[in-house]
Amino acid sequence: MSEPTVVTVTGAGGQIGYSLLFRIASGQLLGPDRPVVLRLLEIPQGLGAAEGTALELQDCAFPLLAGVEATTEMLRAFDGVDVALLVGARPRGPGMERADLLAANGGIFAPQGAAIGAGAADDVRVLVVGNPANTNALITQSAAAGVPAERFTALTRLDHNRAVAQLAAKTGAAVSDIDGVVIWGNHSATQVPDLSHATVGGRPALELVDEEWIADEFIPRVAKRGAEIIAVRGSSSAASAAAAAIDHVHDWVNGTATPGRPERWTSVALPSEGWYGVPEGLVSSFPARSVDGRWEVVEGLDIAPVWQRRIDASVAELEEERAAVGELGLLG
Ligand code: NAI
């Protein structure tokens, strides 16, 4: 068996952490025959929950779990890290303005970025889950001296999975029959779940669903699914977020191609290199394939004006967030 992969999970004592850690330890993050060492980073208030989870992880006797350690020490948590899942974030409190939220999260993600820059493995992979995920990823990346920008991503896979599931439900198809869905932009209410390139059993989705359903039901349903889950479940989406984080890293490490679907893509938020006119550096969601352990944005898709207007609005929101954190001095 290979050397263990060091996987650091921040916010490990929280809801998503509790769903995520057991799946990582069972081998679902990286694949079979890949042992892992888990580092659980928490703040003092969350440490007990993380330590308790570490005890339960031990009790599972997972053959691939080579070690687990809970800590509040950031440098320790990221020392030699291969995969960093940044889940812990500051939620919006009562009366908190957006600038306060960005500042509070900057205070978390900038030091974590610096610690990743100081101690991570050369080929570290970083996935930011904690919201506002795209801009938190931007802050982390800009603080991580010496680590290539392409190593930093934010989670829009949950939105992607939600979009696939909604299209499958609407058309009566199996999830595995659906290809070519894209999430563009920000992981927020402005996100753009795009069906114009999607296929259902090889047929264009636009032949099966109409523009009205897309605009009035599909897009709002996907974009506001988090609020729907809270309303129905009484608590935020945690297991589905954890499942999406697993999918994201699994595909990043193992590739997106699957038997019979070599061209399969997914959606990933990563620092733009100017793709589709998105300003350089903004962490925005794109269609991407993972090839040889690297994300490759799918270029050259035709974007119809109605979709372009939606994408422009989401990208404008990301630019505003970048300007706001820039003014706060959070971009290095
Ligand atoms: P939670 O509140 O249950 O857990 C968060 C944990 O993070 C807590 O245990 C807290 O002590 C810890 N934490 C806070 N600051 C920390 C720091 N500086 N270092 C280490 N740990 C810290 O929240 P939950 O449900 O697990 O969600 C976590 C985040 O994920 C939230 O920001 C949520 O909005 C976001 N989220 C993102 C999704 C996405 O698709 N990108 C989907 C669902 C949730």
| Chain segment 182-214, per-residue pLDDT in tens | 999 999 999 999 999 999 999 999 999 999 999
3-state secondary structure of 36: strand
The yes-or-no verdict on residue 327 having pLDDT over 90 is: yes
Angle at 119 between CA 116 and CA 125, to 5 degrees: 50
Chain center to CA of 193: 15
Answer whether residue 162 shows pLDDT above 90: yes
CA 127 to centroid of ligand 1, rounded, Å: 13
Pocket lining: 16 vs ligand 1, CB cutoff 6 Å: yes
Check pLDDT > 80 for residue 56.
yes
Question: What are the φ/ψ torsions at residue 192 (nearest 5 degrees)?
Answer: -120, 100
* 1-5, 43-47, 266-270, 324-328: least confident range: 1-5
Tell me how far CA of residue 125 lies from CA of 204, 242, 253, 258, in angstroms: 34, 17, 9, 21
Cα-to-centroid distance, 130 and ligand 1 (Å): 5
Q: How many residues are present in the chain?
A: 332
> What is the C-alpha separation between 164 and 174, in angstroms, rounded?
10
Q: Where are the domains of the chain?
A: 5-154, 157-319
Would you call 248 a catalytic residue per the annotation? no
Nearest CA to ligand 1 atom 27: 16
Residue for token pair 């039901």: 217
CATH class of 157-319: alpha beta
128 within ligand 1 shell (Cβ under 6 A): no
Q: Which residue has the tokens 């769903």?
A: 19
Side-chain half-sphere CA neighbours of 131 within 13 A? 15
Sign of CA dihedral 262, 267, 270, 274: positive
User: Is 5-154 a domain of CATH 3.90.1150.10?
Assistant: no
Whole-number Å distance between alpha carbons of 321 and 307: 22
How much of the chain exceeds pLDDT 90, in percent?
95
In terms of C-beta distances under 8 Å and separation of at least 24 residues, what long-range contacts does 48-52 make, across chains too? Answer: 48/13, 49/12, 49/13, 49/14, 49/17, 49/18, 50/12, 50/13, 50/17, 52/13
Q: Residue 244 CA: which ligand 1 atom is closest?
A: 40
Please name the residues in contact with 200: beta carbons below 8 A apart, sequence gap of 6 or more. 167, 168, 171, 173, 177, 178, 208
Q: What is the pLDDT of residue 92?
A: 84
With 0-12 / 13-18 / 19 or more C-beta atoms within 10 angstroms meaning exposed / middle / buried, residue 97 is exposed
Contact in structure between 24 and 95 (CB atoms under 8 Å): no
Q: How far is the CA of 261 from the centre of ligand 1 (A)?
A: 34
Confidence at residue 255, expressed as pLDDT on a 0 to 100 scale: 97
What is this model's ipTM? 0.99
Inter-residue contact 180 to 167 (CB < 8 Å): no
98 is in an annotated binding site: yes
Max CA-CA distance within the chain? 55
Q: Could you identify the atom of ligand 1 that is nearest to the CA of residue 18?
A: 26
pLDDT band at 3 (very low <50, low <70, confident <90, very high): very high
260: confidence class by pLDDT, cuts 50, 70, 90:
confident
Distance CA 171, CA 27 (A): 33
- Return phi, psi of residue 37, to 5°: -110, 130
Confidence class for position 96, pLDDT limits 50, 70, 90: confident
Which pLDDT belongs to residue 94?
A: 84
Residues 6+ apart with CB under 8 A from 295: 150, 153, 252, 268, 270, 288, 289
Residue 56 in tokens: 């339960």
Mean pLDDT value across residues 12-18: 98
Q: How many alpha carbons fall within 13 Å on the CB side of residue 158?
A: 26
Residue 14: both structure tokens together: 């929280």
